């Protein structure tokens, strides 16, 4: 097989990169840190986009679009915000090129310097709250429930396809509310939307929780998140939802007249998921044969590969496949017939396994005669002979089975790799093995920093599921009293 992938056990990081490139999901571009999302990868992102957009609209949100550029001075308005983003900003300083007076090509025209530099948005709180100032006068203008689908740029020094790139695609919700309670509810509602999407569409179990103060979004009062466990035992933050308090309303002077006629600052949330979800999806389910896609996000549900010797056999089989395809597509399945004439079936099998297509159907002359097909499941790598009659319904049912099986497998993996750890010695051993460590913590940023320094582990979140976590104990590091466990892990 031409496109062999490094074994996951040998080099996890190389396995991941191999897979992304060889499954035609994305590749590095000529621009440092920026990726090209290839059609097959983009088709998965489109499915994510479509489903998330539906869920946002069902929860009352509408889409809008704000400028790519943010005046430099806007960033400085919220002190923590600028501190969080200043070091990774792409800065536009000029608006024109000119022919190089001293040689070939073009150079920046020194006369076209901008009066104020523009930042390519790393996130849009500042430009949006500057806009909301004009949209909000009274309580009747609230709430504002807006989402934006956009590209953003954060000049990361070490980048990895989908997981950390200088430019990425995302959605960012920015809502404005009359009361603190309403804004807090919104932040919770949206992290639950993300959790539902991760579980039901990505087949990815996630822990919902609050970030510690240290790990909060720059400018937030509280950050909620979903955290998933990857197959190498590292955590991945897959989505965040921030309660911003009145920080941005104060920075941009956004007040509203209450029913009683008083002026009050507006309460805010923001929440986002990005193409990073692609990385999470890949690392949650894939194996040494390649991608494993949950049916709800798979661009192709069923691939059909004809097996034949003669042209006559080929024609009969392809006719049969065309009829099956039509029947399946009427029921909402996406089907591809791989009739390429220059590749052997074995090569095709491997290629579609690499691309994670949930079901493969092969038909040879004997299958045709016997009224059966050979059906292979990508998730279990099992094969069976299935009757052609009723095949569409069989495949439809199988899609649900596969969707659930992938989730169950990932859930089992997480359960097996989540540990309650109560001593520092055990912590240091366990963290090397990977997984989620549920530990008591004394609640101080100092202890958090020391644990990170000594083990590279961070608090992924303070889980909202109190059943698991709320109990008395002693901090795993300092031994000081603690009232609940929090989730530690090394992370992406």
Provide the minimum distance between the beta carbon of 105 and a copy of itself in the complex, in angstroms, as a whole number.
4
Q: Does 15 bind a copy of itself (CB under 8 A)?
A: no
Site string for a copy of itself, 332-361 (x = CB under 8 A): ----------x-------------------
For the segment 122-151, give every residue that binds a copy of itself (CB under 8 A).
127, 130-131, 134, 140, 146, 150-151
For 94, 108, 112, 115, 184, the CA distances from 98, given in Å and listed in that order, are 11, 6, 10, 19, 51
What minimum distance in Å lies between the beta carbon of 104 and a copy of itself? 7
Closest CA to 60 of 242, 225, 221, 193: 193
Q: In what order do the strands lie in the sheet with 372-377?
A: 335-337, 302-306, 359-363, 372-377, 383-387
3-state secondary structure 173-224: EEEEECCHHHHHHHHHHHHHHHHHHHHHCCCCCCEEEECCHHHCCCCCCEEE
Token pair recorded at residue 453: 């320094």
CB of 27 to a copy of itself, least distance (A): 8
Min CB(148)–a copy of itself separation in Å: 9
CB of 89 to a copy of itself, least distance (A): 5
Asked if 257 touches a copy of itself (CB under 8 A), the answer is: no
Collapsing DSSP to helix, strand or coil, 328 comes out as helix
Contact segment (CB under 8 A) with a copy of itself among 96-104, 288-296, 365-373, 463-471 equals: 96-104
- Where would I find the H helices in 331-463? 345-354, 365-370, 391-416, 424-433, 445-455
Closer residue to a copy of itself in complex, CB, 31/470: 31
The minimum distance between CB 154 and a copy of itself, in angstroms, equals 10
Rule CB under 8 A: which of 378-407 touch a copy of itself? Answer: none
* In the complex, minimum distance from the CB of residue 22 to a copy of itself, in angstroms, rounded to a whole number: 14
Size of the site for a copy of itself (CB under 8 A): 65
Per-residue x/- marks for a copy of itself, 172-211, CB under 8 A? ----------------------------------------
Cβ atoms of 224 and 187 closer than 8 Å: yes
Collapsing DSSP to helix, strand or coil, 279 comes out as: helix
Q: Which of 44, 52, 136, 169 touches a copy of itself by CB under 8 A?
A: 169
Residue 239 CA, chain-centre distance (Å), reads 7
Asked if 253 interacts with a copy of itself (CB under 8 A), we say no
- DSSP class of 434: -
- The answer to whether 94 contacts a copy of itself (rule: CB under 8 A) is yes
Binding a copy of itself (rule: CB under 8 A), the pick from 1, 31, 387, 429 is: 31
State how far the Cα of 179 lies from the Cα of 461, in Å rounded to an integer: 26
Of 72-80, 318-326, 456-464, 481-489, the window that binds a copy of itself (rule: CB under 8 A) is 72-80
User: Distance of alpha carbon 184 from its chain centroid, rounded?
Assistant: 23
Q: Is 79 in the site for a copy of itself (CB under 8 A)?
A: no
For 416, phi then psi, to 5°, come to -70, -15
Q: Which residues contact 371 (CB under 8 A, 6 or more apart)?
A: 387, 388, 389
Rounded least distance, CB 261 to a copy of itself, Å: 15
List residues binding a copy of itself (CB under 8 A). 27, 29-31, 34-39, 42-43, 45-46, 62-76, 82, 86-99, 104-106, 108, 117-120, 127, 130-131, 134, 140, 146, 150-151, 153, 155, 167, 169, 342
């Amino acid at each position: 097989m031409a496109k062999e992938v490094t074994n996951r056990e040998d080099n996890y990081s190389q396995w991941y990169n191999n897979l992304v490139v060889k499954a035609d999901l994305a590749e590095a571009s000529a621009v440092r840190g920026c990726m090209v999302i290839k059609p097959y990868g983009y088709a998965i992102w489109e499915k994510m986009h479509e489903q998330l957009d539906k869920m946002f609209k069902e929860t009352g949100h509408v889409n809008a679009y704000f400028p790519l550029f943010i005046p430099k001075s806007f960033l400085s308005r919220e002190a923590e915000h600028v501190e969080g983003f200043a070091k990774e900003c792409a800065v536009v300083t000029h608006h024109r090129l000119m022919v190089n007076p001293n040689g070939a090509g073009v150079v920046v025209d020194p006369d076209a310097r901008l009066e104020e530099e523009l930042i390519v948005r790393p996130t849009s709180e500042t430009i949006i709250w500057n806009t909301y100032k004009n949209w909000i006068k009274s309580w009747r203008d609230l709430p504002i429930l807006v989402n934006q689908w956009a590209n953003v740029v954060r000049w990361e020094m070490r980048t990895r396809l989908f997981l950390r790139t200088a430019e990425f695609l995302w959605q960012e919700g920015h809502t404005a509310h009359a009361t603190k309670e309403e804004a807090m509810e919104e932040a919770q509602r949206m992290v639950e939307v993300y959790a539902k999407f991760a579980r039901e569409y990505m087949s990815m179990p996630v822990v919902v929780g609050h970030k510690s103060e240290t790990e909060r979004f720059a400018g937030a009062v509280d950050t909620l998140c979903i955290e998933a466990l990857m197959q190498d035992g590292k955590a991945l933050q897959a989505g965040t939802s921030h309660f911003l308090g009145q920080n941005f309303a104060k920075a941009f002077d956004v007040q509203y007249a209450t029913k009683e006629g008083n002026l009050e600052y507006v309460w805010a949330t923001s929440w986002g998921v990005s193409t990073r979800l692609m990385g999470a999806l890949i690392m949650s389910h894939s194996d040494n044969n390649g991608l494993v896609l949950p049916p709800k996000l798979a661009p192709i549900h069923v691939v059909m590969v004809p097996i034949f010797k003669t042209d006559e056999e080929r024609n009969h089989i392809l006719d049969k496949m065309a009829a099956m395809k039509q029947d399946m597509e009427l029921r909402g399945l996406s089907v591809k017939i791989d009739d390429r004439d220059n590749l052997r079936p074995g090569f095709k099998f491997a290629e579609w396994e690499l691309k994670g297509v949930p079901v493969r159907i092969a038909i040879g002359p004997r299958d045709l005669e016997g009224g059966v097909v050979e059906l292979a499941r990508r998730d279990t790598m099992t094969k069976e002979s299935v009757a052609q009659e009723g095949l569409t319904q069989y495949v439809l049912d199988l899609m649900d089975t596969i969707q659930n099986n992938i989730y169950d497998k990932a859930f089992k993996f997480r359960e097996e790799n989540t540990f309650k750890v109560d001593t520092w010695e055990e912590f240091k051993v366990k963290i090397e093995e990977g997984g989620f460590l549920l530990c008591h913590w004394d609640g101080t940023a100092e202890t958090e920093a020391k644990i990170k320094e000594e083990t590279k582990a961070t608090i992924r979140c303070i889980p909202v599921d109190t059943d698991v976590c709320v109990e008395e104990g002693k901090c795993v590091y300092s031994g000081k009293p603690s009232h609940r466990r929090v989730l530690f892990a090394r992370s992406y």
